[in-house]
């Protein structure tokens, strides 16, 4: 590293930064703007449409900024549909299955990396293989099990199903995380008097936090957004698509998106680093 590589602040400039000629820099910025606009347009459109009155949403030519702002769509949404209860159900479902997946995947991934259980390894591989089969195929046998257990139309049953479907992926990510944490660290802790669980809790878990967070985001996002199994196993779940009126649906869209947005905003950094160090380390 020569002095010329140092940025004005004294910090080393990331080496990936190549010195582009001004024209190249301008072109790069232009490209970035295009990407950002194309990404943002549908989101902005959703937000704007949700505060336009019905008549304006159905009008041609469409208006970009609302001529008239209204929160009526949101009010109608809650009045006409059971939107509040859909929202509550989704929240219960997504948080339960995320929590269950994280606890089970963390414990199992740790057990699998620190001890050798050939049966568990085979099982993990087999369940990853099942990923190749269109999930819709699993729907019928799964529904039969759920109904057979007398758990038809139960949030708990769907949470268990989601957990089972998300586990292989979670296991896979966390396994590579735990493999990357030196065993010597826990051994040192155990020599110093920690129990095995103490070493796991105090030494290994903090090291694996980025992996656990990115797995958690993936899991929450997947179960919050899931449609097929939810719509089939919960007979009250599919009404949302029938909500009358386009703008009504637009208002719903904003509310459905909100929780993952908040989560994403909090953990955006972890997600990027998590994916890098974990699953797809290569």
Segment 70 to 99, residues that bind other proteins, using CB under 8 A: none
Answer yes or no whether residue 10 interacts with other proteins by CB under 8 A: no
Answer yes or no whether residue 22 interacts with other proteins by CB under 8 A: no
Answer yes or no whether residue 261 interacts with other proteins by CB under 8 A: yes
106 and 174 Cβ atoms separated by less than 8 Å: yes
Q: What is the largest CA-CA distance in the chain?
A: 74
**Minimal distance, residue 242 CB to other proteins, in Å:** 12
Position of tokens 């859909």? 86
Number of residues that bind other proteins (CB under 8 A): 107
Answer yes or no whether residue 6 interacts with other proteins by CB under 8 A: no
196 and 115 Cβ atoms separated by less than 8 Å: no
Choice from 6, 26, 55, 58 touching other proteins (CB under 8 A): 58
In the window 27-56, what residues touch other proteins (CB under 8 A)? Answer: 28-29, 31-32, 35-36, 38-40, 42-43, 45-46, 49
Answer yes or no whether residue 136 interacts with other proteins by CB under 8 A: yes
Answer yes or no whether residue 265 interacts with other proteins by CB under 8 A: yes
Among candidate residues 180, 188, 228, 239, the one with its CA nearest the CA of residue 208? 180
* DSSP helix, strand, coil percent of the chain (3-state; round to 5): 75, 0, 25
Residue 104 CB burial class (10 angstroms; 0-12, 13-18, ≥19) = middle
**Minimal distance, residue 116 CB to other proteins, in Å:** 9
Answer yes or no whether residue 134 interacts with other proteins by CB under 8 A: yes
Q: Name the 3-class secondary structure at 194.
A: coil
In the window 231-250, what residues touch other proteins (CB under 8 A)? Answer: 240-241, 246, 249-250
Answer yes or no whether residue 270 interacts with other proteins by CB under 8 A: no
DSSP string, 203-248: IIHHHHHHHHHHHHHHHHHHHHH--HHHHHH-TTGGGGGG-SSHHH
Give just the sign of the alpha carbon dihedral 261, 263, 269, 275. Answer: negative
Stretches 66-74, 174-182, 185-193, 201-209: which one binds other proteins (CB under 8 A)?
185-193
Answer yes or no whether residue 115 interacts with other proteins by CB under 8 A: yes
Answer yes or no whether residue 150 interacts with other proteins by CB under 8 A: no
Answer yes or no whether residue 18 interacts with other proteins by CB under 8 A: yes
User: What is the distance between the alpha carbons of residues 123 and 150, in angstroms, rounded to a whole number?
Assistant: 27
Answer yes or no whether residue 209 interacts with other proteins by CB under 8 A: no
């Amino acid at each position: 590293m020569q002095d010329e590589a140092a940025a004005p602040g004294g910090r080393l400039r990331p080496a990936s930064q190549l010195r582009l000629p001004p024209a190249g820099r301008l072109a790069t910025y232009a490209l970035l703007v295009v990407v950002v606009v194309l990404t943002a347009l549908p989101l902005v459109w959703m937000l704007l449409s949700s505060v336009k009155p019905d008549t304006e949403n159905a009008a041609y030519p469409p208006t970009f900024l609302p001529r008239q702002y209204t929160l009526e769509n949101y009010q109608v949404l809650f009045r006409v549909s059971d939107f509040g209860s859909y929202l509550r159900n989704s929240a219960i479902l997504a948080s339960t299955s995320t929590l269950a997946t994280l606890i089970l995947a963390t414990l199992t991934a740790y057990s699998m990396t620190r001890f050798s259980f050939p049966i568990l390894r085979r099982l993990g591989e087999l369940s990853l293989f099942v990923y190749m089969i269109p999930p819709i195929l699993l729907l019928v046998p799964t529904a039969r099990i759920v109904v057979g257990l007398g758990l038809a139309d139960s949030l708990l049953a769907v949470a268990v199903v989601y957990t089972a479907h998300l586990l292989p992926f979670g296991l896979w990510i966390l396994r590579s995380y735990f493999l990357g944490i030196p065993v010597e660290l826990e051994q040192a802790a155990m020599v110093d008097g920690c129990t095995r669980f103490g070493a796991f809790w105090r030494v290994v878990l903090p090291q694996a936090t980025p992996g656990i967070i990115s797995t958690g985001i993936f899991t929450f996002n997947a179960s919050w957004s899931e449609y097929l199994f939810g719509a089939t196993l919960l007979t009250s779940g599919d009404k949302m698509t029938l909500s009358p009126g386009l703008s009504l649906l637009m208002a719903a869209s904003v509310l459905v998106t909100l929780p993952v947005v908040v989560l994403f905003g909090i953990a955006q950094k972890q997600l990027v680093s998590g994916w890098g160090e974990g699953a797809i380390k290569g």
